[in-house]
């Protein structure tokens, strides 16, 4: 079992959205994720989630794993979940995953567990 966590100041995401607009979102979110994450708190949560997942995989975001290799969605009950792209699954095989995202007090945090 591997665990990754990340925290981000929501204001950092707000500033990037103000400066770069939709191109900032497209840098790390798929079109489906953009539709799901409408509020800045949710966008910050997705950022933290992708960083936490990359840390749980032990590689970080870079040559072995891109933001777009990580696909975040929600269950029918609204709980966050994720999967990796086919190419990333070949490099980082897994059997089970768990993801938690939260935000409060100007911060978004995510914890990812991968087995």
Per-residue pLDDT of the chain (115 residues; tens, 9 = 90+): 999 999 999 999 999 999 999 999 999 999 999 999 999 999 999 999 999 999 999 999 999 999 999 999 999 999 999 999 999 999 999 999 999 999 999 999 999 999 9
Question: Among all residues, which ones are annotated catalytic?
Answer: 55, 103
Task: Reply yes or no on domain 2-114 having CATH 3.30.565.10.
Answer: no
Domain boundaries, the chain: 2-114
| pTM listed for this prediction | 0.95
Q: Tokens standing for 46?
A: 């997705």
**Cα–Cα dist 102/28, whole Å:** 19
Q: What are phi and psi of 95, to 5 degrees?
A: -115, -40
Per-residue confidence (pLDDT) for residue 59, from 0 to 100? 95
């Amino acid at each position: 079992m591997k665990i990754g966590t990340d925290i981000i100041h929501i204001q950092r995401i707000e500033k990037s959205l103000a400066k770069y607009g939709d191109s900032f979102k497209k840098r790390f979110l798929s079109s489906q994720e953009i539709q799901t994450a409408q509020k800045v708190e949710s966008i910050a949560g997705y950022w933290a989630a992708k960083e936490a997942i990359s840390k749980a995989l032990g590689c970080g975001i870079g040559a072995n794993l891109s933001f777009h290799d990580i696909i975040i969605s929600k269950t029918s009950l609204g709980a966050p979940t994720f999967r990796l792209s086919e190419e990333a699954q070949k490099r980082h095989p897994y059997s089970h995953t768990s993801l938690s995202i939260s935000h409060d007090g100007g911060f978004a945090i995510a914890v990812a567990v991968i087995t």
